[in-house]
Amino acid sequence: MPNVITVSGLSKTYATGHTALNNVSLDIRRGEIFALLGPNGAGKTTLISIICGLVKPTAGSVTVSGFDIVSQYRETRSRIGLVPQELTAEAFESVFATVSFSRGLFGKKPDPAYVEKVIRSLSLWEKRDSRIMTLSGGMKRRVLIAKALAHEPEVLFLDEPSAGVDVELRRDMWRLVRELRDSGVTIILTTHYLEEAEEMADRVGVISRGELILVEEKAALMKTLGKKKLSVELNAPLATIPARLAPFNLTLSDGGGCLTYSYVTTAEGSEGRDHGITALLEALSAEGIAFRDLHTEQSSLEDIFVSLVRRS
């Protein structure tokens, strides 16, 4: 898949002297859903703001569909839709008027039928003549999404799309995002809700303190870094862990009735010769420890993320 956005060596130091982005390079593939994951203050909004033209980069460059965001900003910006993190919309305008305004601002001829389609796809049609200030927070978010889609962008940025959003809107939003992706739109979302990246993204980039620490296919990321846990429910509780099992670093819980073993499945699939699952089970049987059940748990992106940030 060709890249739709190429970020090279991007840095941003604000006037305050704070470096919000430090030499970030990143390729976004056309048609993917990319999740930019990081805690508050990591630099997610700064990165998006630079690509969209709201913040000037200190160093580095960005191209969108091969066009430079500074010297060819008309080409790049007309391809991008942005849903900002903050709920900021004209208070006094009607929904229909503000969405039409966005379409014009981005250089498109008026097309009421298309505007209607966008407004309907966000379940806002009943509210089309309402003033924006009379809408609830969730409705305002829908309006912002409609505005961002009004000019038929190729790339859609969603900055913290589910912050303060109810379950229904979240479901609607994810449905819409998938539909957009299916129609060829590239979607980049930022989040610190990790389930969100896990649920939605094709690829995940982890950003922390202005540095992109890792970019991976979500599935590969889960596989490479996903810690797994094997719980062994014993027939008879153990008072202590036998010396022979020490290399496995087991923990005993549930009043001695459950042994837990943490292990990592690496990309090669090997579990470590000396203390893999097979070795553990052999050791258990050699010790004469009987068990009635086994189950495994895979760590969530959240666990992965916490460990990554801690490591960096």
Partner 1 sequence: MNLQVNLPAIRAIYTYEMNRTRRTIGQSIVSPVLSTSLYFVVFGSAIGSRMSEVGGVPYGAFIVPGLMMLTLLTQSISNAAFAIYFPRFTGTIYELLSAPVSPFEIVAGYVGAAATKSVLLGLIILATAALFVPMEVRHPFWMLTFLVLTAVTFSLFGFIIGIWADGFERLQLIPMLVITPLTFLGGTFYSLDMLPPVWRTVTLFNPVVYLVAGFRWSFFGTADVRVEVSAAMTLAFLIACLLIVRWMFRTGYRLKS
- Please answer whether residues 185 and 65 qualify as being in contact, where contact means their C-beta atoms are separated by less than 8 angstroms: no
Distance CA 305, CA 209 (A): 13
- In the shown chain, the binding pattern of residues 280 to 299 toward Mg ion, with x for contact by CB under 5 A and - for none, equals --------------------
DSSP 82-130: EE-SS----SSSBHHHHHHHHHHHTTPPP-HHHHHHHHHHTT-GGGTTS
Closer CB to partner 1, residue 115 or residue 258?
115
Closer CB to partner 1, residue 80 or residue 139?
80
Query: What secondary structure letter does DSSP report for 283?
Result: H
As measured in angstroms, the least distance from the Cβ of 174 to ligand ADP is: 21
115 is a site residue for ligand ADP (CB under 6 A): no
- Options 10, 20, 200, 280; binder of ligand ADP; rule CB under 6 A: 20
Distance CA 139, CA 54 (A): 24
45 is a site residue for Mg ion (CB under 5 A): yes
Q: How far is CA 127 from CA 31, 134, 276, in A?
A: 31, 10, 59
Distance CA 253, CA 274 (A): 24
As measured in angstroms, the least distance from the Cβ of 46 to ligand ADP is: 3
As measured in angstroms, the least distance from the Cβ of 24 to Mg ion is: 15
- In the shown chain, the binding pattern of residues 74 to 113 toward Mg ion, with x for contact by CB under 5 A and - for none, equals -----------x----------------------------
191 is a site residue for Mg ion (CB under 5 A): no
- Options 1, 9, 25, 41; binder of ligand ADP; rule CB under 6 A: 41
Closer CB to partner 1, residue 108 or residue 229?
108
Residues 6+ apart with CB under 8 A from 269: none
Residues 6+ apart with CB under 8 A from 276: 263, 270
14 is a site residue for ligand ADP (CB under 6 A): yes
As measured in angstroms, the least distance from the Cβ of 104 to partner 1 is: 3
Q: Which two tokens stand for residue 167?
A: 């379950």
Neighbours of 25 (CB within 10 A): 12
Closer CB to ligand ADP, residue 261 or residue 305?
305
Distance CA 259, CA 9 (A): 47
Please report, as ranges, the residues that interact with partner 1 according to CB under 8 A.
14-15, 52-56, 72-78, 80, 82, 84, 86, 88-93, 97, 100-110, 147
Determine the number of helices (DSSP H) and then strands (DSSP E) in the chain. Answer: 10, 14
Distance CA 10, CA 50 (A): 9
43 is a site residue for ligand ADP (CB under 6 A): yes
Q: Which stretch binds ligand ADP (CB under 6 A): 23-31, 40-48, 65-73, 270-278?
A: 40-48
The count of chain residues that interact with ligand ADP, using the rule CB under 6 A, is 12
Task: Provide the Cα torsion 105, 87, 84, 39; round to 10°.
Answer: 170
**Of ligand ADP, Mg ion, partner 1, none, which one does residue 43 interact with (CB within 5 to 8 Å by kind)?**
ligand ADP
Q: Which residues bind Mg ion (CB under 5 A)?
A: 44-45, 85
Q: Which residues bind ligand ADP (CB under 6 A)?
A: 14, 16, 18, 20, 38, 40-46
